[in-house]
């Protein structure tokens, strides 16, 4: 005598309740007290037209559609108050027209683009390596001081340069 099936009207109702609420299949299985393997078997046997699995499959399909419709109605109601809900619908319903488009950039033959090792921009040419090193160290210190302090230091340096220029005039 074969073992009785767990595919009862009560299990189907619990499974479908989860679908209507938007639960994942694994969660619906937990609600119905069945394993994911049992759910896959029920679906396969339902597709073959075997009862009570065909009834399960029909009810599950209907429950998914009803749940989706209910959630879509909530979004449409929210769109009355907030345009972003309507934009969300458009992005997902018509992704080619309203969706967010990603652009992927690749290097030669589809390889990843390699950034340059390091780029250093100098404000003015330096006469010696020591002068350049001193400038880079000073700029690093100024960056650590923050933007406000940097602006103050730039003003002081400008003022010092102006005083120096005035002193060198005859």
Residue 63 lies in a domain: yes
Question: Mind giving me the DSSP string for the chain?
Answer: -PPPPS--HHHHHHHHHHHHHT--HHHHHHHHT--HHHHHHHHHHHHTT-TTHHHHHHHHHHHHHHHHHHHHHHHHHHHTT-HHHHHHHHHHHSHHHHSPPP-----GGGPPPPPPS-----SS--SSHHHHHHHHHHHHHHHHH-HHHHHHHHHHHHHHHHHHHHHH--
Q: What is the per-residue pLDDT across 3-50, written as a single tens digit (0 to 9) for each?
A: 888 999 999 999 999 999 999 999 999 999 999 999 999 999 999 999
Q: What is the per-residue pLDDT across 41-87, written as a single tens digit (0 to 9) for each?
A: 999 999 999 999 999 999 999 999 999 999 999 999 998 999 888 88
> Is pTM, for the whole model, over 0.75?
no
Domain boundary among 77, 98, 119: 98
Residues 84 and 145 in one domain: no
Residues 80 and 153 in one domain: no
Residues 136 and 88 in one domain: no
Residues 66 and 134 in one domain: no
Residues 82 and 138 in one domain: no
Residue 143 lies in a domain: yes
Residues 134 and 93 in one domain: no
What domain range is 29 assigned to? 9-98
Residue 45 lies in a domain: yes
């Amino acid at each position: 005598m074969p073992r009785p099936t767990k595919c009862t009207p009560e299990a189907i109702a619990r499974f479908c309740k989860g679908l209507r609420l938007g639960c994942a299949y694994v969660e619906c299985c937990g609600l119905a007290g069945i394993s994911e393997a049992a759910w896959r078997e029920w679906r396969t046997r339902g597709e073959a037209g075997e009862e009570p699995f065909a009834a399960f499959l029909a009810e599950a399909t209907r429950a998914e559609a009803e749940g989706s419709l209910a959630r879509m109605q909530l979004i449409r109601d929210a769109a009355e108050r907030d345009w972003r809900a309507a934009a969300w619908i458009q992005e997902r319903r018509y992704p080619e027209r309203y969706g967010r488009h990603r652009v992927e950039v690749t290097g030669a033959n589809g390889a990843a683009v390699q950034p340059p090792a390091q780029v250093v921009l100098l404000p003015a040419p330096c006469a010696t390596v020591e002068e350049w090193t001193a400038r880079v160290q000073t700029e690093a210190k100024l960056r650590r001081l923050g933007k406000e302090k940097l602006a103050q230091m730039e003003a002081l340096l400008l003022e010092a340069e102006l005083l120096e220029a005035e002193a060198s005039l005859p």
